[in-house]
Amino acid sequence: MESNGVSLHPHDAAALDVSPVPHLATAGASALQMPTYPSNCLEFARPFLAPETQTSESVHKAKVPLKIILVGAGLGGLATAIALAQSGHNVTVFEQTPVLGEVGAGIQIPSNSTRILFKLGLEPYLRPYVTEPESISFRRWQTGNVIGKTKLIPEFTDNFDAPYYVIHRAHFHSALCQKVQDMGIEIKLGARVEDYNPAAGSITLADGTIYTGDLVIAADGIKSVARKIILGGEDMAFRKPGFAAYRATVDVERMRNDPEVSWILEKPALNIWIGDSRHVMTYTIGAGKAFNMVLSHPDGTDPTTWNPLKAVEDMKTEFANWDPVLTKLIGLVEKTLKWPLISGSVLDKWVSEKLVILGDAAHAMLPYMSQGAAMAVEDGVALARSLSKVDSKEQLAKSLSIFEKVRMQRAGQMQEASLLNSHLWHFADGPMQEARDAAMIPEVKGIPFSHSPNQWSDPATQMWCYGYDTEKAIDEAWEKT
């Protein structure tokens, strides 16, 4: 909005008693169509656009409610169960563990995920546990100097209609569990699925019990049994880029007593130290009560040979001579777990008759875009949306085919983006590192830029990643059939 040559934010209109120009809604907006190419040029006009050009806030109810068997009660499985149940399907979740729970430490919930989680009604369930970082800072490995910076508040909420959160993985899982419980979705615990029958739409448990439904969804993780069946007995080829990661948390009270490191707690933020073949990502979780650290380093050895008793010592050795602030933080770690990092290859099938896989079972990826769980959440909502289009059970195959095509492209590209970061962050000091750092100077100084090797800041990547609307993508795919 313009007034006497001064640019105003739309939210300032009320304060100045200036109403939105009414003729835009009748004259100009009627001719506007959302571009099919990536663009934000019509964001200013969103309040004036016709409802069909805006993102729907309502849940699409299924025309044909299905009896759905869902295997796996992890983050993706539970989010999928919630989306399907809200759409009107009868969902039963089968989980092999006798008690629900998650292991691990911190996890990010980026804006493309929070937006749809909120739509599923999860905002009040997440709110007690989340931290909303103000920014993401890339730091020089040796000095800690900021070399790249992405502002998250208020930019991400303003641009992508949803905040960017960090949370403990166990808290994220418990929030989903509580929502599932409140919705009355049945979860059968201690139910280990040993076989799938795609033609019959059935599963066979370890005790021999068979359950049959209209559709079986396998969110059964990276070691998926269902994936091998869909691929005709062959398993997915895993890409091993030769990295492992230490994961650890530090009590923030220990950090507050040390002025050399306490400054990092002043404002919630993500900090990433990047150097030759290594990086360390840190942020607070547990609503600010714990400090999460992920330390990636080269390691192609067999995980069965790793000695957990030496993990802390080995971790310190990997990052010796790095920024003194970082090494002091690492020195506060009392215990750590080491994980091999692998990426799945792009599959050519996610569906076989009445069986479909999603989440890590379909597209395991490196954590370097912090999008693994977010892709599983997108999968679940996309599947619910595609199934809502079905007019009869005879259209089930079409619905699954459309879901498969749309999500294969999206998840495959995110795998690619994650793998790219494993190169961008890990240059040895030299010409490529210097060129990368120089390209991020504008974002650090807060001046305009058109591209950045920081994929959180790069305008085109940012819009593709965080502005993506998984339901809209399904709608558009259906319209083309």
In this structure, the answer to whether residues 72 and 27 fall within a common structural domain is: no
* 359, 149, 152, 1 alpha-carbon torsion, rounded to 10°: -130
Q: pLDDT for 68-81, tens place per residue?
A: 999 999 999 999 99
In this structure, the answer to whether residues 179 and 85 fall within a common structural domain is: yes
- Does residue 319 sit within a domain? no
Average pLDDT of span 36-40: 75
Dist CA 259 CA 266 (whole Å) = 11
Using omega within 30 degrees of 0 as the cis cutoff, is the peptide bond preceding 154 cis?
yes
In this structure, the answer to whether residues 119 and 185 fall within a common structural domain is: yes
In this structure, the answer to whether residues 228 and 162 fall within a common structural domain is: yes
Predicted structure pTM score: 0.90
pLDDT at 67 over 50: yes
Q: 289 or 399, which is more confident?
A: 399
- Does residue 73 sit within a domain? yes
Q: What is the reported pLDDT for 59? A: 75
Dist CA 265 CA 369 (whole Å) = 23
Are the CB atoms for 50 and 44 separated by under 8 Å?
Answer: no
pLDDT at 143 over 90: yes
pLDDT bucket at 100, cuts 50 / 70 / 90 = confident
Q: 30 or 198, which is more confident?
A: 198
Q: What is the reported pLDDT for 354? A: 98
pLDDT at 26 over 60: no
72 φ/ψ sector (left φ>0, alpha ψ -120 to 50, else beta): left
For residue 375, give its domain range. 67-124+154-238+344-415+471-479
For the ranges 75-89, 94-108, 302-316, the lowest mean pLDDT is seen at 94-108
Q: pLDDT for 155-164, tens place per residue?
A: 999 999 999 9
Average pLDDT of span 101-128: 93
Per the structure block, which two tokens stand in for 112?
């493309």
Q: pLDDT for 241-276, tens place per residue?
A: 899 999 999 989 999 989 999 999 999 999 999 999
Average pLDDT of span 109-122: 98
- Does residue 403 sit within a domain? yes
For residue 3, how many other CB atoms are within 10 A of its CB?
Answer: 11
Q: What is the reported pLDDT for 239? A: 84
- Does residue 382 sit within a domain? yes
pLDDT at 57 over 80: no
Q: What is the reported pLDDT for 58? A: 64
In this structure, the answer to whether residues 25 and 118 fall within a common structural domain is: no
Q: What is the reported pLDDT for 51? A: 55
Domain count for the chain: 2
Average pLDDT of span 385-396: 97
pLDDT bucket at 21, cuts 50 / 70 / 90 = very low
Q: What is the reported pLDDT for 241? A: 85
Phi, psi of 440 (to 5 degrees): -95, -5
Of 53, 76, 91, the domain-final residue: 53
pLDDT bucket at 50, cuts 50 / 70 / 90 = low
Looking at residue 404, which CATH number applies to its domain?
3.50.50.60
Of 29, 53, 77, the domain-final residue: 53
In this structure, the answer to whether residues 85 and 115 fall within a common structural domain is: yes
In this structure, the answer to whether residues 44 and 98 fall within a common structural domain is: no
Average pLDDT of the chain to the nearest whole number: 91
Please give the full DSSP string across 311-348, using - where no structure is assigned. HHHHHHHHTTTS-HHHHHHHHT----EEEEEEEEPPPS
Q: What is the reported pLDDT for 44? A: 79
In this structure, the answer to whether residues 87 and 26 fall within a common structural domain is: no
In this structure, the answer to whether residues 230 and 366 fall within a common structural domain is: yes
pLDDT at 449 over 60: yes
pLDDT at 17 over 60: no
In this structure, the answer to whether residues 87 and 180 fall within a common structural domain is: yes
- First and final C-alpha spacing in the chain: 40
pLDDT bucket at 396, cuts 50 / 70 / 90 = very high
pLDDT bucket at 16, cuts 50 / 70 / 90 = very low
Rounded percentage of the chain residues whose pLDDT exceeds 90: 81
Closest CA to 433 of 278, 283, 297, 326: 278
pLDDT bucket at 53, cuts 50 / 70 / 90 = very low
**Which CA distances in Å does 253 have to 259, 262, 288?**
12, 9, 10
- Does residue 247 sit within a domain? no
pLDDT at 66 over 80: yes
In this structure, the answer to whether residues 98 and 47 fall within a common structural domain is: no
- Does residue 134 sit within a domain? no
- Does residue 12 sit within a domain? yes
In this structure, the answer to whether residues 349 and 206 fall within a common structural domain is: yes
Q: What is the reported pLDDT for 386? A: 98
Q: What is the reported pLDDT for 25? A: 41
- Does residue 446 sit within a domain? no
Average pLDDT of span 389-415: 97
Q: What is the reported pLDDT for 296? A: 97
